[in-house]
Chains A and B, each alone.
Chain A
């Protein structure tokens, strides 16, 4: 297990390859951000019957570069009442984690049919990902939580009320959706039996080699169907909330909080947050592709498989990014109580229940007889009904208590 690059010890070539991979990953992510900002603005303009950026470069492609140059040359302001150290630290806390997440995602490599996704680089065998830690999936969860610190500390250290409100919302929202995110991810880990991202992708490669005659085996080998779609949907919703993207962008609700946690930031420090937001979006899309959509898996009609795998990975990420933009164009922002309701009353119980069902099915298929299976299913259904009734009863009692306490005004 682990990257075969390190199997024969570490020498200068290995170090150079790792450095090169880091630089390439960083470049991909930065260029991706530039294109993503342009893509988002263009698509949302299309959906609103506008034209969108069209002045800088062909089709406005250089608009983000122009904005970046402008931001760099603007005056950097730090409010008097802000905390100097934390105020300066926060943008980096927001921008670094998405990059680290992107580092553990395999962006290419042919899996299945006897191949395990390795490529030859400078005479060495390695994976097309910067790092493949044995706890990759946990690492992703940890990094997406650390990104919250960037938002929280930025709001707190600004010494201003609206950023503070924004960061308080952020912490509550993150805590709420982190649970659903982790539980739906646990379903993937349960099916795969490994935490390494490389293993997750290899596990989805399916038994047969990739060809046009194996359509059904492609799709059924992807985790989105193997885990029964529900974890995928929950993960996507929770990821949108983690990214603070619409309709979950209460953290930076312009109409209520001026700009949210980044109100007091200016110049490139603000640019870092802007960058971080889109880096997170791309990294999270890459994670969704890796965990649920087979990573770089896809048909290889001709030519070198590695290029095709990178193409399929990119295509899947772009589809997800488009979906994020589509959500933004379509859905109005959640109210705060709706946000909490969805997180705590719908997503978390559903994710937890689905995880239990998956675990039960797995156990039942491997170790139980049919009778035991039916017995367990009946028992499960009974418990589910009881729990449903209990939740309903609790809700009724709570409502009744509230009604008693209500004061006429």
Chain B
């Protein structure tokens, strides 16, 4: 049989289960920590989390983030504290979705949603500004016409916060200190690593 075994295998595979999905109609489920299009989060009281520190821009390996900070107006502050992100732009023609900006952010202001299917057709659409990035009043990402949002993509947009241990301490791994978030409130900490691994 040895010589013809290969023919039997290929014929048998015709009736085996397909490993691919008919993509645009049915999509494979996205992982909880999928790296997608960014959002700029707000606190529960509606204040923006971004403080305009430019750490994200500094750490970005693709140099796709442009930030300018400014002093908060005294009578109508945009963020709690001294400064806020006056200009915030991400060029998605350059972004590689490495999530280093998310790790660098000290206030968890920038996180990534699970959306990766956005087919803009001109350069202006490719550069997202604060007008597109900041979450709406429900804490959900804004949805642009050229973006293909599916149910669930906009939930827990800050699902993945830190690859490294929180506060830089390895013992505190898994005890993510979530800050209050518009639309979500304060989330329960993730279980510790051994527990997540099922040990």
Q: Show the binding face of A for B, using Cβ within 8 Å.
A: 43, 46-51, 54, 326, 329-331
Contact = CB atoms under 8 A, between A and B. Distances in A.
A199 B193 CA distance: 79
B10 A47 contact: yes
Given A46-B14, A48-B13, A49-B13, A331 B6 contact: yes
A51 B20 contact: yes
Contact of B19 (A50, A326, A329, A331): A50
Contacts of B13: 46-49
Contacts of A48: 13
A49 B6 contact: no
B22 interface: yes
Interface of B: 6-7, 9-11, 13-14, 16-22
A326 B16 contact: no
- Of A43, A46, A331, most buried by chain B (CB within 10 Å of CB) is A46
A330 B20 contact: no
A51 B21 CA distance: 8
A43 B9 CA distance: 14
Nearest to A50: B20
23 contacts: A46-B13, A47-B10, A47-B13, A47-B14, A49-B13, A49-B17, A49-B18, A49-B19, A49-B20, A50-B18, A50-B19, A50-B20, A51-B21, A51-B22, A54-B22, A326-B7, A326-B10, A326-B11, A329-B10, A330-B7, A330-B9, A330-B10, A331-B6
B156 to A, nearest CB: 31
Contacts of B16: 49
The 5 closest A-B pairs by CB, nearest first: A46-B14, A330-B10, A47-B10, A329-B10, A330-B6
Contacts of B6: 330-331
A304 B18 CA distance: 42
Nearest to A325: B10
A239 B176 CA distance: 67
Contacts of A46: 13-14
B125 to A, nearest CB: 25
Nearest to A331: B6
Contacts of A326: 7, 10-11
Contacts of B9: 330
- Of B6, B7, B10, B11, most buried by chain A (CB within 10 Å of CB) is B10
Contact of A51 (B11, B14, B18): B18
A147 B129 CA distance: 60
Contacts of B21: 51
B14 A43 contact: yes
A330 B9 CA distance: 8
Contacts of A51: 18, 20-22
A331 B6 CA distance: 8
Nearest to B15: A46
A330 B4 CA distance: 10
A218 to B, nearest CB: 26
Nearest to B23: A51
A47 B18 CA distance: 10
